[in-house]
A and B are shown apart, each in its own frame.
Chain A
């Protein structure tokens, strides 16, 4: 290890090197932290969900600058102590490659798209992906509609606004969005659109539809306020 174990006593916040000025390995003069205030950066995210093969990767790639992202996730107890190496040696992490794209909406506004991991064993990652998300796009493949049920159930339970985008594959029959909505047992307000995930303009329209849907929610931007309709799968009151 190229560095000494950290000593909590030494790591007092704001500690500066004596004679701080130019630091040889910091790449010249210290970065002006004031930049953070002068140049605020707002980050937002939308989830792209759907069954295996529904076109998530294609969707993310057609509209955004796609970026590689790996995450090593512990698979056992998430509460393993921070320095508890004994918790790690028992084989506990796995590599998850994620679909991840970035759309630069302005100098100060970034929109990230995260494809949700498909396999069941990565369900635990959904909570983190969904936290703070604007909403979600559920990509549906009409040849395998059941593939998107888990995602729809999840977003309904979490009260995360979503739209369903039916990815029109070449060899799939065209369906009326209303039929898809019925087949998926969607709430009346949930938009269903046809799209071609390969086409940028099409995916853009899906994201616009999602934003309009999100803004139509009375509690948009006010997470503390309860949404208008009760969970339709909850007990009737």
Chain B
């Protein structure tokens, strides 16, 4: 089979491998995954050798100056979610960012207090 033809799943999607070229081919972050709405924040640690980081790493790290949800980073920087997760994994490995404790246990539903706050917030809209 012609290998170049395999690079396309469908024409709308574009070149399939391209986004992950930004992650050196990695499709999963190092360590644990990041939930869609996980909140991440810069730890304040200083990046060491800047040559180890891509421009995407740098932009993401800047984006984490305040606590921010992973999906918002993907949306704001126009990067596919999977790519953002891999790059955030690198930043976490280097101690530059951390996942902030969330309201809900991993994968669990938020507690009643949060649920009530959401209800009240919606009513006040």
> Chain A residues with Cβ under 8 A from B8's Cβ?
91
Bound complex: CA A2 to CA B59 (Å): 14
Nearest CB of A to B93, in Å: 5
> Chain B residues with Cβ under 8 A from A44's Cβ?
37, 103-104, 110, 114, 118
Q: Check A190 for interface membership: any CB of B closer than 8 A.
A: no
Contacts A132-B37, A132-B107; A91 near B122 (Cβ below 8 A): no
Contacts A12-B95, A68-B75; A94 near B123 (Cβ below 8 A): no
Nearest CB of A to B42, in Å: 4
> Chain B residues with Cβ under 8 A from A92's Cβ?
16
Task: Find residues 86-125 in chain B having any chain A CB closer than 8 Å to their own CB.
Answer: 90, 93-95, 98, 100, 102-119, 121-125
Residue contact B12 to A95, C-beta cutoff 8 Å: yes
Bound complex: CA A21 to CA B54 (Å): 21
The residue in B16, B30, B93 that gathers the most chain A C-beta atoms within 10 A of its C-beta is B16
Q: Check A229 for interface membership: any CB of B closer than 8 A.
A: no
Residue contact A134 to B115, C-beta cutoff 8 Å: yes
Nearest CB of A to B115, in Å: 6
Nearest CB of B to A213, in Å: 10
> Chain A residues with Cβ under 8 A from B122's Cβ?
103, 105, 111, 204, 207-208, 211
Interface size class of B (residues with CB under 8 A): 35 or more
Task: Find residues 19-39 in chain B having any chain A CB closer than 8 Å to their own CB.
Answer: 19-20, 24-30, 35-39
Bound complex: CA A84 to CA B26 (Å): 7
Q: Which secondary structure dominates chain A's binding surface?
A: loop
Nearest CB of B to A194, in Å: 18
Select from chain A the residue with minimum beta-carbon distance to B116.
A215
Residue contact B118 to A211, C-beta cutoff 8 Å: yes
Residue contact B119 to A208, C-beta cutoff 8 Å: yes
How many residues from A make CB contacts under 8 Å with B? 86
Bound complex: CA A91 to CA B4 (Å): 10
Residue contact A27 to B37, C-beta cutoff 8 Å: no
Residue contact B119 to A93, C-beta cutoff 8 Å: no
> Chain A residues with Cβ under 8 A from B19's Cβ?
72, 93
Nearest CB of A to B58, in Å: 6
Contacts A72-B81, A114-B36; A25 near B58 (Cβ below 8 A): yes
Q: Check A183 for interface membership: any CB of B closer than 8 A.
A: no
> Chain A residues with Cβ under 8 A from B90's Cβ?
6
Nearest CB of B to A157, in Å: 16
Residue contact A131 to B107, C-beta cutoff 8 Å: yes
Task: Find residues 42-71 in chain A having any chain B CB closer than 8 Å to their own CB.
Answer: 42-45, 63, 67-71
Q: Which residues of A are in contact with B by a Cβ distance under 8 Å?
A: 1-6, 8, 10-17, 20-21, 23, 25-27, 30-36, 39-45, 63, 67-75, 80, 82-85, 87-95, 100, 102-103, 105-106, 109-112, 114, 128-129, 131-134, 204, 207-208, 211-212, 214-215, 220-223
Extra A-B contacts (5), CB below 8 Å, given A3-B57, A103-B121, A111-B121: A11-B94, A20-B46, A26-B47, A30-B46, A83-B24
Closest 5 CB pairs of A and B: A105-B121, A13-B95, A20-B46, A31-B65, A33-B44
30 residue pairs A–B, Cβ–Cβ below 8 Å: A5-B24, A10-B52, A15-B45, A17-B48, A23-B46, A31-B42, A33-B42, A35-B65, A36-B67, A40-B67, A42-B110, A43-B69, A44-B114, A68-B75, A71-B74, A71-B80, A72-B19, A82-B26, A82-B28, A84-B25, A85-B25, A89-B6, A91-B6, A91-B9, A93-B16, A105-B122, A111-B121, A132-B110, A204-B122, A222-B112
